Amino acid sequence: MSNILEIENLHFQYGEIVALRGISLNVGEGEVVTLLGGNGAGKTTTLTAISGLINGITQGEIRFMGEKINGKAPHKIAALGIAHSLEGRHIFSQLTVMENLMMGAYLRKGDNAGIAKDLEYVFHLFPRLKEREKQQGGTLSGGEQQMLAVGRALMQAPKLLMLDEPSLGIAPIIVEDIFRALHQINQDGLPLLLVEQNCNVALDIAHRGYVIETGEIILSDTAQALAENELIQKSYMGME
């Protein structure tokens, strides 16, 4: 399997504060890869460094479809095909559901047929969004806002979708809906890089995973092996 994303020995600092200490990871075509870890481990830093939203790489390389992307502007990285659903949702609360979704398609000028098809696809995945098409983003429930954030990322027609803690602060039953949709999205061919503290739901849909602790990858294995790993069960799954 060829890799769509490759990160090699990435070091990242916020000024003097070291956040990533040489992490390496890859995502293959068609794969769901999860990056697991506790608070402050460096998960968000990894995703925002990939999408170019923060500067601070001191060493290492990020390649997307074989091309080095670290150092490129965020809009250029997005245009190459990386969509990033940010931690804490970040939808436009004054805009309607439809307007939020169309913001995701802003780089696709002229592709009206493709945009219409992807809109259908998002509404098929998340019927609640269709029902709330004209509702203001800020008035949606937390779970619906998360669906909207995922839907907006899909409207970019990405080649890789990165998600930062899509289960955060959402009721278990809605988390199930969202992860069923993520599984479907991957079945339809899109690779996912999924950051989660909730190992149970992440390992359910992932093929492989990495565990990050204080800026270092301490473990990497198949999802099944990670789910059976005692360290993971004790540290991240709340099993004693």
Ligand X SMILES: Nc1ncnc2c1ncn2[C@@H]1O[C@H](COP(=O)(O)OP(=O)(O)OP(=O)(O)O)[C@@H](O)[C@H]1O
Q: Which residues contact ligand X (rule: CB under 6 A)?
A: 14, 17, 19, 37, 39-45, 87, 197
The three-state secondary structure class of 206 is coil
Partner from Mg ion, ligand X, none contacting 67, C-beta within 5 to 8 A by type: none
Torsion angle (degrees, nearest 10) of CA 174, 178, 179, 185: 160
CB of 156 to Mg ion, least distance (A): 21
The alpha carbon of 27 is separated from its chain's Cα centroid by a whole number of angstroms, namely 12
Give the bridge partners for 211, in sequence order. 36, 219
CB of 48 to ligand X, least distance (A): 8
CB of 41 to ligand X, least distance (A): 4
Which region holds residue 19: left if phi is over 0, alpha if psi is between -120 and 50, else beta? alpha
Which C-beta is closer to Mg ion: that of 43 or that of 132?
43
CB of 169 to ligand X, least distance (A): 12
11, 37 Cβ separation under 8 angstroms: no
CB of 87 to Mg ion, least distance (A): 5
Residue nearest to Mg ion (CB): 44
CB of 38 to ligand X, least distance (A): 6
How far lies 132's CA from each of 118, 139, 142, in Å? 17, 10, 14
Partner from Mg ion, ligand X, none contacting 238, C-beta within 5 to 8 A by type: none
Which C-beta is closer to Mg ion: that of 44 or that of 167?
44
Q: b/e string for 79-95 if b means 16 or more Cβ within 10 A?
A: eeebbbbbbebebeeeb
Which C-beta is closer to ligand X: that of 96 or that of 214?
214
**Cα–Cα distance for residue pair 27/50, rounded to 1 Å:** 12
Partner from Mg ion, ligand X, none contacting 41, C-beta within 5 to 8 A by type: ligand X
Which C-beta is closer to ligand X: that of 35 or that of 182?
35
Partner from Mg ion, ligand X, none contacting 197, C-beta within 5 to 8 A by type: ligand X
Which C-beta is closer to Mg ion: that of 44 or that of 229?
44
Residues 6+ apart with CB under 8 A from 47: 84, 162, 164, 193, 195
Which among 105, 88, 206 has a CA at the least distance from the CA of 151? 105
The three-state secondary structure class of 178 is helix
Which C-beta is closer to ligand X: that of 14 or that of 106?
14
* Number of shown-chain residues binding Mg ion (CB under 5 A): 3
User: 44 to 83, contacts with Mg ion by CB under 5 A?
Assistant: 44
